[in-house]
């Protein structure tokens, strides 16, 4: 019974949220800001990937990172050391970011004339996938130690993502991870998803990721 | 606004859920069934840990595993090969198990005269921690590749867990994981949490985990 009540409320929230998200996307378009929603499990390497991405692209774009955390600021501190604008958003225990929550960081993007904004969502493969944050596109990181069966177990997350980074490729030799199978499972969920194997720690494969981002930003701002 | 509505509904759900959970725990006690709620991130090794645990303890106890999955049965198939009773529970997209959902597997525990039951919860460090499943105790697995900072970022999960297994200790040399710091962070959240480093793949450290389980079951059934 309690389950049914949650779902009813969720549906009205989803409708409100979709409107807020669409309005925000329109405003991003008008201002030429590209916002990417980055999702993953805890510990898959979101922050490390962001730090390296900022180092590589900071001379091309003004970059801002919105750090969604339950109540800590561990990642925002790490990001602020890179020279990018770090915007801390606390979800106060919530498991995801919705469009209204994301919008709270919007003024700071404008004030800082951000061109590439990345939302580092809560580490969770279930809830964040349910909410349109207002971002232009969704990206996720799946790391090698998590296993190649994850698209089978967390269908919605892979369905809503436009690009999947397979991180920690450097430790492939010590894990039973089948990249081919993983790609096949991802494409079962979303045939259009772009899959890019990377190692955020060593930099391996990151150029393909930067190129994907450059193409995205160019298209969005044209 | 939408956020506030969720919280209001959640509070009434929590109150109902606490009652259902307490009633279930009482019934488990009367029937001498020890139920452990096992939580973790996706890919931290819950299923591998369970398979090895079942192999080690199946001559001592009748073991049943309740597999909570969003909509797949990958893990239930793996468990059923071990000889333990596998009970599949589908959450239909939900991010956690509550007591009413867990209770749906209860009759099968009784029919199969299960003595040690383990609920393999949804892979998620946020939502499952919020709901009392009716289990006797909460356990979680944190794996080395996820990083030692996780107790800082997912406070509630570590607060509600009685035992934390640190898994994938075999890959410690290739990751920047500080076991001492991790233990310190866990104890900041819950000073009474028992921390056991293991490798479910090789069996390293698993004896301490089996002993913890044996003591638990003995105490619960006395």
List the domains of chain B with CATH numbers: 2-221 (3.40.50.300)
Residue numbers in A near B170 (CB within 8 A) = 174
**Rounded distance between C-alpha atoms, residue A62 and residue A64, angstroms:** 7
Residue numbers in A near B5 (CB within 8 A) = 9, 12-13
Whole-model pTM?
0.90
pLDDT number for residue A69: 87
Burial class (CB in 10 A: 0-12, 13-18, 19+), A142: buried
DSSP code at position A177: -
* Cβ–Cβ < 8 Å for A179, A166: yes
In this prediction, residues A198-216 reach a mean pLDDT of 98
pLDDT number for residue B215: 98
Helix axes B206-221, B46-57, angle to 10 degrees: 70
Q: What are B140's strand-pairing partners?
A: B39, B164
The alpha-carbon gap from B34 to the nearest alpha carbon of chain A, in Å, equals 26
**Rounded distance between C-alpha atoms, residue B67 and residue B55, angstroms:** 17
Q: Which residues of B117-152 are buried (b: 16+ CB within 10 A; e: fewer)?
A: bbbbbbbbbbbbbbbbbbbbbbbbbbbbbbbbbbbb
The alpha-carbon gap from B126 to the nearest alpha carbon of chain A, in Å, equals 6
Q: Is the pLDDT of residue A12 over 70?
A: no
**Least reliable range by pLDDT among A67-76, B52-61, B138-147:** A67-76
pLDDT number for residue A10: 55
DSSP code at position B46: H
Token representation of residue B146: 């996820």
Residue numbers in B near A175 (CB within 8 A) = 171
* Cβ–Cβ < 8 Å for A169, A68: no
Residue showing tokens 């962001």: A50
- What is the ipTM for the molecules in this complex? 0.86
A130-139 pLDDT tens trace: 999 999 999 9
DSSP three-state, residue B111: helix
């Amino acid at each position: 019974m309690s389950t049914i009540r949650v779902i009813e409320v969720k549906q009205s929230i989803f409708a409100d949220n979709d409107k807020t998200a669409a309005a925000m996307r329109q405003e991003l378009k008008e201002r030429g800001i590209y916002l990417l929603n980055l999702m993953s499990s805890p510990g898959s390497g979101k922050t490390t990937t962001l730090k390296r991405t900022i180092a590589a692209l900071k001379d091309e774009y003004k970059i801002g990172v919105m750090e969604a955390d339950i109540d800590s600021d561990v990642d925002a501190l790490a990001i602020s050391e890179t020279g990018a604008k770090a915007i801390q958003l606390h979800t106060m225990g919530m498991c995801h970011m919705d469009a209204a929550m994301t919008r709270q960081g919007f003024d700071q993007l404008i004030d800082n004339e951000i061109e590439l904004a990345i939302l580092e969502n809560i580490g969770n493969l279930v809830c964040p996938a349910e909410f349109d944050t207002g971002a232009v596109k969704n990206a996720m990181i799946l790391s090698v130690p998590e296993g190649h069966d994850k698209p089978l177990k967390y269908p919605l997350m892979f369905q809503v993502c436009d690009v999947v980074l397979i991180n920690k490729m450097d430790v492939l030799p010590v894990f039973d991870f089948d990249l081919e199978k993983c790609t096949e499972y991802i494409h079962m969920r979303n045939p259009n998803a772009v899959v890019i194997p990377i190692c955020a720690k060593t930099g391996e494969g990151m150029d393909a990721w930067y190129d994907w981002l450059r193409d995205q930003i160019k298209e969005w701002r044209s």
